[in-house]
Amino acid sequence: MSTHGAQSSPTRPFDVITFDCYGTLIDWEAGITEAFRDAAAADGVNLDPAAALRALFEKEPEAQAAEYRSYRELLTDTAVRVGERLGWTISRERAAFLPESLLLWKPFPDTNEALTRLSQAGYALGILSNVDDDLLAGTRRHLAATFSLLVTAQQVRSYKPAPGHFTTARERIGGRRWLHAAQSYFHDVTPSVAHRIPVAWINRKGERPTGAARPDREFRTLTELADWLA
């Protein structure tokens, strides 16, 4: 099989580490909460950001399972629906505040140090993300590492946990040893196990599995992942 690049190293258990981006590398809950709070306040609306976040997460799987649309469109539609549910009626034009805010979402405190350690240890790094190419390009400005593999929903025309990200990544990675690391049990751990991809669950919230799939390793932080690998 093609190795698509560097040969395997006997000192490393894997050659390529891929990550989910939002929720694993980027604190998207903080970013979404701030975006809803600021936009509602600008409109003179007293909105509970935590309720907005819960409503958004309830709608997300349904929206992503439908026919493919850009993530920018999905976030805009979701902002409209969440606003309506919480008594804040806004137009699609106004709802654009949510995808526009994505470029401001910041990494978790442990993200860049862990990525730097893994890169310096010789791992090739990648991202598998339910997002548009241009939005991910903006987010990457917050990340210290260089990523040699980027697979987006825009490229595969579907959203995880659909197989597109994983089959495309496998084609690009070839025979190199691959570990996927992610926070979402639903979007990443379950499909990784289904595709026989070694997976580390970055279980930041101490959640319990919601299905039969079990990760190969489980950590609370990216620091713990880097401690194991680097």
For 28-104, the fitting CATH number among 1.10.150.750, 1.10.10.10, 3.40.309.10, 3.30.1330.10 is 1.10.150.750
Residue 202 parent element (H or E): strand 199-202
Using 50, 70 and 90 to split pLDDT, how confident is the model at 67? Answer: confident
Query: pLDDT tens digit string along 178-203?
Result: 999 999 999 999 999 999 999 999 99
pLDDT, greater one: 84 or 217: 217
Pairing of strands 16-19, 124-129: parallel
Q: How many CA atoms are closer than 13 Å to the CA of 174, on its beta-carbon side? A: 11
Domain boundaries, the chain: 16-27+106-229, 28-104
Mean pLDDT of 70-82: 93
3-state helix, strand, coil in the chain (%, to 5): 50, 15, 40
Q: What is the pLDDT of residue 3?
A: 33
Mean pLDDT of 78-107: 95
11, 140, 190, 213 from 201: Cα distances, Å? 22, 22, 10, 11
CATH of domain 16-27+106-229: 3.40.50.1000
User: What percentage of the chain carries pLDDT values higher than 90?
Assistant: 84
The Cβ of residue 39 has, within 10 Å, a number of other Cβ atoms equal to 23
The Cβ of residue 35 has, within 10 Å, a number of other Cβ atoms equal to 23
Least confident of 62-76, 120-134, 209-223: 62-76
pTM: 0.92
